[in-house]
Amino acid sequence: MFNRSETLRYLGYKCEEVDNNTLELMEECEELLKKSANPKSTYKVFDLNRIDDDTLDMEVLKIKSKALCRNLRGCEKVILFAATLGPRVDILLQKYSKLSASRAVVLQASAASMIEVYMDSMEDEIKEKAKKEGLFLRPRFSPGYADLSLEYQRDIFKILDLPRRIGATLMDNLIMAPSKTVTAFIGLSEEDKNVCDYE
C-alpha cells in the first residue's frame, strides 16, 4: 500500500539518511492511514479522433496541450482515470496538523505515496485488460503537468461524474476534495512504445 522510497523522497530524505525514529514514525503513520483510507477509482475509455502538434480531439473533449499530444501520439484510445483515498484521510491529516507537526508532515508524504501506489495497482488491472485487446498503456498524464491546464479538471469531473462515482468534488479554485484525489489521461496504443520513442 506504500512505497517507502517515494515517501522518503517526498520528505526530502535519501534512504541512507533515515534514522530509526523516522522509520518508526513512518510505520505509525502508515497504520493510521490504512485504518482511515477508503480508496476508490473509476475510468472510462474514449476514442481519440484526431491529434496534431498541440490539439487533440477525443469523443467528449477537445484539449490543447503540446505535452499531452506528445504523450498520446500514436494512440487510438484515451482513458480518463480518477482515484481517491477518501475523506477520512483528510480528517486524519487535519487532526494531526493541530496535534503534531512532525507526524502531520509524515502523514502527508505517506498519503501521497499511498495514492500513487493505489493508482499503480489500478493501472496494472487496466493494463491486463488492455493486453487482451492487443493494446498497451502510455504513462499517466495529469492536469497541471507541463502545459496541460488545470481547467480541464472541470471537464474530467463532469465526464466521469466523480461526485457520484468516487465521492470527489472540485472547488471553484480547482482544488479537489478529498485532497488525496488524482485524475489522469492514459493513452492506449497498439504499439508497445515509450513516449520518448515519439520525440
* Side-chain half-sphere CA neighbours of 39 within 13 A: 18
Q: What was the pLDDT predicted at 195?
A: 53
What pTM was computed for the model? 0.91
19-58 per-position pLDDT tens digit: 889 899 999 999 999 999 999 999 999 999 999 999 999 9
CA dihedral 122, 180, 31, 35 (to 10 degrees): -80
pLDDT of 73 strictly over 80: yes
Question: Which of the four pLDDT bands, split at 50, 70 and 90, describes residue 197?
Answer: very low
102-114 per-position pLDDT tens digit: 999 999 999 999 9
Residue 189's identity, in one-letter code, is S
Candidates 176, 49, 182; CA nearest to 123 is 182
Mean pLDDT of 50-68: 94
Instruction: Evaluate whether 71 touches 187 at the Cβ level (below 8 Å).
Output: yes
Q: What was the pLDDT predicted at 18?
A: 81
Question: Which of the four pLDDT bands, split at 50, 70 and 90, describes residue 194?
Answer: low
C-alpha cell, 199: 520525440
On the 0-12 / 13-18 / 19+ scale of CB atoms within 10 A, 2 is buried
The CA–CA distances, whole Å, from 192 to 32, 177, 184 equal 39, 35, 20
Instruction: Evaluate whether 160 touches 82 at the Cβ level (below 8 Å).
Output: yes
161-188 per-position pLDDT tens digit: 999 999 999 999 999 999 999 999 999 9
Q: Which domains, and CATH codes, for the chain?
A: 4-198 (3.40.109.40)
